[in-house]
């Protein structure tokens, strides 16, 4: 396809490029990337260099005759010296070449060459280029062509090109499919067995969706390879039980890993009765996963042997890398670079390890002697030190896991990779995260938002006040607590503060359905505990479905179960009586007409005053069962009765069996292996913890029930014109735009500023007021005066020239400056502030709040991560605690919230389209029933932050 061997008429002379990147000041080092291929392996991609000539000759010689024919439209058995010069000497602008590498071997080559005759903004008037790529036969089918196309398109856009063209033989179905499935709008022309393809390379929603889907499949496969190894080697397997190498080997053997385990120890013939090998290269079989437990000083020798063996992934449990600081950071980076260059993924260093409870795998490659039973919860932890405690707690509380990964220093494989894996893992329904930092928070926001729509994510984020640990600081993005809150809230992540809260929430999600609403019924045998539960629920913003039902301490298990069934609306009164008589709890055929008719009176003959009563008809959305074991009656019978009474009910039920935490056997619906399964009832040791867990899950269910937000561009937005404005004003250094420049830029996004004039004396002020039309406002020029909460620098509702003269005199006396703004009065409304604020990790965030001293003092601001959807915009303007003032508080007329939401979407587009806009403040925005009116704007532009997440090609951090 395309890029035929050049003839004498080839236009353009090769650029004089130096022999290597270090000597070439124009070498675009930021184009280098490690990328995950579709099979989960890693390839290193970088611009081609003249020094790659020999490797390119070897690559070409390795291609089959058929591949060369499809690529060059002829036999082309060898590259001529002239072609070799042309292919390896590029200018990185009009002529660009990329190579995909595994070690020193080239796996694939892609290039584009600008076509003359264009009139665009590209180099030398070129706006389109001819693109071509080819992969080695034994590496075809790994998605390398798609990867090269993405990175070539990104490089071309950076160089001002807008269009690609390609010539492809009709029978080259694989290459045609690469272009067809890239997500671009491709036009085709056919002539004499050759397809001519053309397409614009600007990112589209479809091309971004294609990129994201490929990234998800590739990174999920990469993690799958780690968690489903066919064989494991333990490098540093020690005969000393106190060594970590001995512990990992023992745990693998104790867990009955389904594949072979190979100890590697040059000083022992066997370890724990298993034959040992002096080096991993001596192992006769293939090794998929290597657990490295040697000191950091010996890692280079281990890496050499693993690279020679072709190990697919490393779990490095050794410490002494970035966690030790200094040279350890350099050693860690070298470790990851070497591993990635040879296609391997790295978990760690300083990791606890990985585990997979799938009966077909049974992998416990961790330092923890026991892992929880099989379950449907995936757990990612950045902390190795906490990992053992986390696994022990999960086991004690009856929480089964599907997979567990402790990434330690998180030098390579991270929580984002696990989110990609769990997205399509059929064995995982709930995701738990213990995070100390974010490596790529923008990507985390995108992945978490997508995953949380189908699988709940519960996260502990430590370091709220102290920041990440030293081991993670080098690779962590700086992100403040407000940004973390915005990220989690927007993505639907259930934020908890402690590990105890994490497990409380996970138990409910793992074994019970999501609630359909906030109504909670409370049934128990203690009125005092019932009141405590009710208070805790109301404190959490939940609703009581009738007063707590007290069956009394003397009620038998059957009556307790019947009251539970009635409160849930699962049975009628007649059926509830049957339940009370039989104790089976199985009669629930008909919905209740009166869900809990005299549940605490007729059912038990016991009345407890205000703690008892009738629940409304229709059934609750959830139920909390509260039980204090009577002195003479074992609590186990009541637990079994509760479990049977709620079997098959599609509403969440949790218990407060005092002193019982987790899933006791009597509340468990056992799987085949005896571990708790769906329908098991989690128990909490206090009413407050039960109510808090239910409230978190209810808020998540409410978020998940909302429509998926739409991302789009509001009408009237002219992005190209806005980019032209930014280019004209310049952003090489940070500076504030003039009033006219700010108004022009906002106008490109359909954001008008209430008309104003800047005047220099009182006569000009009166003339401007006459021109604008009364009433008007006068504002002092300095921000020091205009944005004070007491409005000392502003005079409003001036209805005549005399009033303007008096106001001008007042402001001149106050500020010492005769220059003022004269502005037409906007409709009176609630004063708001909408801003783009710079964030070191996201690039920018949207901030919204109401104006005023109280809101500033209390920090009553809400934040959202860009890009923002219509749902995000609606949530943002309703998020501040003072937001009820916008919705008609105490009888006032509600403002036009739709206009505010539209303004948020337009400012969000500015933040997304123009990274040069480092800050923007619309202050004040007067929101009224007539609309949202911008009366003040400040914009600062400057060099854009490094941010390749949106629209850029796939790459590992």
Sign of CA dihedral 119, 121, 125, 131: negative
The residue-averaged pLDDT of 345-372 equals: 94
Cα separation of 537 and 541, whole Å? Answer: 6
Instruction: Judge if 688 and 768 occupy the same domain.
Output: no
| Per-residue pLDDT, 487 | 86
Task: Please report whether residue 851 resides in a domain.
Answer: yes
Instruction: Judge if 856 and 779 occupy the same domain.
Output: no
| Per-residue pLDDT, 721 | 95
Cα separation of 591 and 729, whole Å? Answer: 69
Instruction: Judge if 814 and 908 occupy the same domain.
Output: no
Task: Please report whether residue 269 resides in a domain.
Answer: yes
Cα separation of 89 and 83, whole Å? Answer: 10
Instruction: Select from 797, 825, 853 the last residue of a domain.
Output: 825
CATH number of domain containing 459: 3.40.50.720
What burial class does residue 330 get, using C-beta atoms within 10 Å of its C-beta: 0-12 exposed, 13-18 middle, 19+ buried?
Answer: exposed
Closest CA to 314 of 526, 124, 42: 42
The upper half-sphere exposure of residue 737, i.e. CA atoms within 13 Å in the direction of its Cβ, equals 28
Instruction: Judge if 747 and 762 occupy the same domain.
Output: no
Counted domains in the chain: 5
pLDDT tens readout for residues 622-661: 999 998 876 556 688 899 999 999 998 999 999 998 767 8
Peptide linkage before 763 cis (omega within 30 of 0) = no
Instruction: Judge if 899 and 883 occupy the same domain.
Output: yes
The vertex-680 CA angle with 675 and 685, nearest 5°, equals: 100
| Per-residue pLDDT, 462 | 74
Q: Is residue 949 scored above 80 in pLDDT? A: no
| Per-residue pLDDT, 454 | 96
Task: Please report whether residue 363 resides in a domain.
Answer: yes
The two tokens of residue 348 are 């760690």
Q: If you count DSSP H runs as helices and E runs as strands, how many of each does the chain have, helices first?
A: 28, 38
The two tokens of residue 379 are 């757990």
Contacts 24+ apart (CB under 8 A), 596-602: 596/521, 596/546, 596/549, 596/563, 596/566, 596/567, 596/569, 597/566, 597/573, 599/523, 599/549, 599/551, 599/563, 599/566, 599/567, 600/549, 600/550, 600/551, 600/552, 600/563
Q: Is residue 477 scored above 60 in pLDDT? A: no
Task: Please report whether residue 530 resides in a domain.
Answer: yes
Give the range among 346-355, 446-455, 582-591, 714-723 with minimum mean pLDDT.
582-591
Q: Is residue 573 scored above 60 in pLDDT? A: no
Quick check: helix, strand or coil at residue 521? strand
Give the range among 60-74, 288-302, 336-350, 940-954 with minimum mean pLDDT.
940-954
CATH number of domain containing 604: 3.40.50.261
User: Residue 598 — pLDDT band, cuts 50, 70, 90?
Assistant: very low
Q: Is residue 17 scored above 60 in pLDDT? A: no
DSSP assignment string, 167-232 = EEETT-HHHHHHHHTTSS--EEEEETTEEEEEEE-S--HHHHHHHHHHHHHHHHHHHHHHHS-S-E
Q: Is 760 left (phi over 0), alpha (psi -120 to 50) or beta?
A: alpha
pLDDT > 90 fraction of the chain, expressed in percent and rounded: 67
Cα separation of 587 and 571, whole Å? Answer: 7
User: Residue 690 — pLDDT band, cuts 50, 70, 90?
Assistant: very high
Average pLDDT, the chain: 87
Instruction: Select from 202, 237, 258 the last residue of a domain.
Output: 202
pLDDT tens readout for residues 270-316: 999 999 999 999 999 999 999 999 998 888 889 989 999 999 999 99
| Per-residue pLDDT, 457 | 98
pLDDT tens readout for residues 764-786: 999 999 999 999 999 998 777 76
| Per-residue pLDDT, 581 | 42
Task: Please report whether residue 2 resides in a domain.
Answer: no
Torsion angle defined by CA atoms of residues 346, 352, 353 and 356, in that order, rounded to the nearest 10 degrees: -140
Instruction: Select from 825, 850, 870 the last residue of a domain.
Output: 825
pLDDT > 70 fraction of the chain, expressed in percent and rounded: 87
The residue-averaged pLDDT of 742-768 equals: 96
Instruction: Judge if 275 and 366 occupy the same domain.
Output: yes
The residue-averaged pLDDT of 602-626 equals: 58
The two tokens of residue 274 are 């298993």
Cα separation of 345 and 420, whole Å? Answer: 15
Task: Please report whether residue 217 resides in a domain.
Answer: no
Quick check: helix, strand or coil at residue 868? coil
- Does 306 or 673 have the greater pLDDT score? 306
| Per-residue pLDDT, 617 | 54
Q: Is residue 574 scored above 90 in pLDDT? A: no
Strands 820-824, 95-102: pairing is unpaired
User: Residue 708 — pLDDT band, cuts 50, 70, 90?
Assistant: confident
Task: Please report whether residue 464 resides in a domain.
Answer: yes
Q: List strand residue ranges (DSSP E) for 517-582, in order.
A: 519-524, 543-544, 549-550
CA distances for 551 relative to 196, 393, 543, 644, angstroms: 80, 33, 21, 18
Give the range among 245-254, 358-367, 446-455, 708-717 with minimum mean pLDDT.
708-717
pLDDT tens readout for residues 145-197: 999 999 999 999 989 899 999 999 999 988 989 998 999 989 989 888 899 99
Task: Please report whether residue 257 resides in a domain.
Answer: yes
The residue-averaged pLDDT of 752-774 equals: 96
The two tokens of residue 613 are 């009563």
Question: Is 47 within 8 Å of 28 (Cβ atoms)?
Answer: yes
| Per-residue pLDDT, 571 | 45
| Per-residue pLDDT, 368 | 92
Instruction: Judge if 813 and 738 occupy the same domain.
Output: no
| b/e map 341-370, b = 16+ CB within 10 Å | bbbbbbbbbbbbbbbbbeeebbbbbbbbee
The two tokens of residue 101 are 């590498």
Helix 897-913, helix 870-878: angle, nearest 10: 120
Instruction: Judge if 689 and 819 occupy the same domain.
Output: no
Cα separation of 23 and 374, whole Å? Answer: 56
| Per-residue pLDDT, 600 | 34
- Does 118 or 433 have the greater pLDDT score? 433
Instruction: Judge if 622 and 475 occupy the same domain.
Output: no
Instruction: Judge if 620 and 479 occupy the same domain.
Output: no
Closest CA to 628 of 528, 545, 536, 531: 528
In this prediction the pTM is: 0.86
3-state SS record for 376-432: EEEEEECCCCCHHHHHHHHHHCCCCEEEEEECCCCCCCCHHHHHHHHHHCCCCCEEE
Instruction: Judge if 689 and 801 occupy the same domain.
Output: no
| Per-residue pLDDT, 788 | 63
pLDDT tens readout for residues 42-91: 999 999 999 999 999 999 999 999 999 999 998 899 999 999 999 999 99
Domain assignment of residue 309, given as a range:
222-508
Q: Is residue 27 scored above 90 in pLDDT? A: yes
- Rg from Cα positions in the chain: 33
- 127 phi and psi angles, rounded to 5 deg: -125, -5
CA distances for 812 relative to 103, 904, 905, angstroms: 72, 35, 38
The two tokens of residue 117 are 């005759």
| Per-residue pLDDT, 269 | 94
Give the range among 13-17, 788-792, 818-822 with minimum mean pLDDT.
13-17
Element (H, E) at 742: helix 739-748
pLDDT tens readout for residues 233-254: 999 999 999 999 999 999 999 9
Sheet containing strand 430-435, edge to edge, reads: 363-366, 353-356, 401-406, 374-381, 430-435, 457-461, 494-496
| Per-residue pLDDT, 712 | 86
- Does 329 or 784 have the greater pLDDT score? 329
Q: Is residue 262 scored above 60 in pLDDT? A: yes
Looking at residue 438, the DSSP 8-state letter turns out to be B
Instruction: Judge if 796 and 696 occupy the same domain.
Output: no
């Amino acid at each position: 396809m395309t890029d035929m061997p050049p003839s004498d008429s080839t236009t353009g002379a090769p650029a004089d490029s130096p022999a290597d990147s270090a000597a070439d000041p124009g070498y675009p080092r930021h184009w280098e990337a490690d990328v995950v291929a579709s099979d989960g392996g890693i390839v290193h991609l970088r611009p081609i260099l003249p020094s790659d000539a020999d490797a390119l000759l070897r690559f070409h010689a390795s291609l089959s005759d058929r591949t060369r024919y499809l690529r060059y439209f002829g036999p082309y058995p060898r590259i001529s010296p002239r072609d070799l010069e042309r292919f390896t000497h590029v200018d990185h602008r009009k002529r660009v070449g990329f190579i995909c590498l595994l070690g020193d071997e080239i796996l694939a080559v892609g290039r584009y060459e600008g076509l003359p005759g264009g009139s665009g903004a590209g180099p030398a008037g070129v706006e389109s280029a001819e693109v071509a790529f080819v992969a080695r036969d034994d590496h075809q089918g790994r998605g390398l062509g798609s990867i090269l196309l993405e990175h070539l398109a990104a490089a071309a856009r950076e160089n001002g090109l807008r269009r690609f063209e390609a010539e492809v033989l009709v029978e080259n179905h694989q290459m045609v499919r690469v272009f067809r499935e890239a997500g671009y709008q491709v036009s085709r022309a056919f002539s004499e067995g050759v397809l001519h393809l053309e397409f614009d390379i600007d990112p589209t929603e479809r091309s971004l969706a294609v990129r994201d889907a490929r990234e998800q499949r590739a990174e999920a496969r990469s993690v799958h390879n780690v968690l489903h190894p066919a064989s494991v080697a333990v490098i540093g397997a020690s005969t000393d039980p106190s060594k970590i190498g001995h512990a990992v080997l023992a745990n693998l053997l104790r867990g009955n890993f389904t594949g072979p385990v190979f100890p590697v120890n040059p000083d022992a013939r066997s370890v724990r009765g298993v034959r040992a090998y002096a080096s991993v290269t001596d192992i006769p079989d293939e090794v998929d996963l290597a657990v490295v437990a040697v000191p950091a000083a010996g890692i280079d020798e281990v890496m050499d042997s693993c690279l020679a063996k072709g190990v697919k992934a490393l779990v490095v449990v050794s410490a002494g890398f970035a966690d030790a600081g200094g040279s350890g950071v350099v050693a860690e980076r070298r470790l990851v670079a070497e591993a990635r260059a040879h296609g391997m993924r790295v978990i760690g260093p300083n990791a606890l390890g990985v585990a997979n409870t799938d009966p077909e795998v049974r992998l416990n490659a961790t330092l923890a002697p026991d892992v929880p039973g099989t379950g449907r919860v995936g757990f990612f932890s950045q902390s190795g030190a906490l990992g053992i405690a986390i696994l022990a707690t999960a086991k004690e509380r009856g929480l089964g896991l599907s997979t567990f990964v402790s990434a330690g220093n998180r030098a390579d494989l991270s929580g984002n990779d696990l989110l990609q894996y769990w997205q399509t893992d059929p064995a995982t329904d709930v995701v738990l995260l213990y995070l100390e930092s974010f490596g790529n928070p923008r990507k985390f926001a995108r992945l978490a938002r997508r995953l949380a729509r189908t699988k709940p994510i519960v996260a502990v984020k430590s370091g709220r006040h102290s920041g990440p640990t030293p081991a993670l600081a080098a690779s962590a993005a700086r992100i403040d607590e407000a940004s973390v809150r915005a990220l989690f809230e927007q993505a639907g992540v259930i934020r908890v503060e402690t590990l105890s809260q994490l497990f409380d929430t996970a138990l409910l999600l793992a074994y019970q359905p999501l609630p359909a609403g906030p109504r909670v019924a409370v049934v128990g045998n203690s009125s005092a505990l019932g009141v405590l539960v009710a208070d805790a629920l109301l404190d959490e913003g939940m609703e009581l479905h009738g007063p707590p039902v007290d069956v009394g301490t003397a009620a038998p298990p059957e009556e307790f179960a019947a009251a539970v069934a009635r409160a849930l609306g699962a049975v009628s009164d007649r059926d509830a009586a049957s339940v009370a008589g039989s104790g089976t709890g199985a009669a629930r055929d008909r919905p209740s007409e009166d869900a809990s008719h005299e549940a605490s009176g007729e059912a038990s003959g016991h009345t407890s005053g205000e703690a008892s009563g009738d629940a409304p008809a229709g059934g609750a959305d959830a139920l909390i069962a509260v039980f204090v074991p009577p002195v003479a009656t074992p609590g186990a019978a009541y637990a079994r009765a509760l479990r049977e009474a709620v079997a098959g009910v599609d509403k969440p039920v949790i218990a407060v069996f005092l002193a019982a935490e987790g899933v006791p056997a009597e509340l468990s619906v056992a799987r085949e292996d005896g571990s708790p399964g769906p329908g098991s009832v989690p128990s909490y040791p206090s009413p407050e913890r039960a109510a808090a867990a239910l409230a978190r899950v209810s808020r998540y269910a409410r978020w998940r029930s909302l429509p998926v937000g739409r991302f789009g561009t509001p009408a009237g937005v002219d992005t190209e014109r806005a980019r032209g404005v930014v280019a004209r004003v310049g952003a090489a250094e940070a500076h504030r735009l003039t009033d006219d420049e700010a108004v022009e830029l906002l106008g490109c996004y359909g954001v008008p500023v209430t008309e104003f004039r800047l005047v220099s004396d009182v006569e000009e002020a009166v003339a401007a007021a006459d021109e604008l039309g009364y009433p008007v406002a006068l504002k002092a020029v300095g921000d020091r005066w205009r944005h004070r909460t007491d409005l000392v620098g502003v005079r409003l509702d001036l209805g005549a020239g005399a009033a303007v003269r008096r106001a001008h005199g007042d402001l001149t006396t106050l500020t010492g400056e005769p220059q003022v703004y004269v502005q037409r009065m906007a409709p009176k409304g609630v004063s708001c502030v909408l801003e783009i604020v710079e964030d070191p990790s996201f690039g920018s965030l949207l901030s919204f709040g109401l104006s005023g001293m109280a809101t500033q003092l209390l920090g009553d601001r809400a934040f959202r991560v860009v890009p923002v959807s219509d749902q995000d915009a609606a949530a943002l303007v309703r998020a501040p605690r003072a937001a009820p003032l916008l919705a008609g508080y105490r009888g006032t007329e509600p403002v036009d919230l739709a206009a505010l939401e539209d303004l948020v979407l337009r400012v969000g587009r500015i933040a997304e389209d123009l990274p040069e806009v480092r800050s923007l403040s619309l202050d004040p925005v007067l929101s009224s029933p007539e609309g949202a009116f911008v009366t003040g704007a400040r914009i600062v532009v400057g060099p854009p932050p490094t941010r390749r997440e949106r629209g850029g090609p796939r790459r590992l951090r």
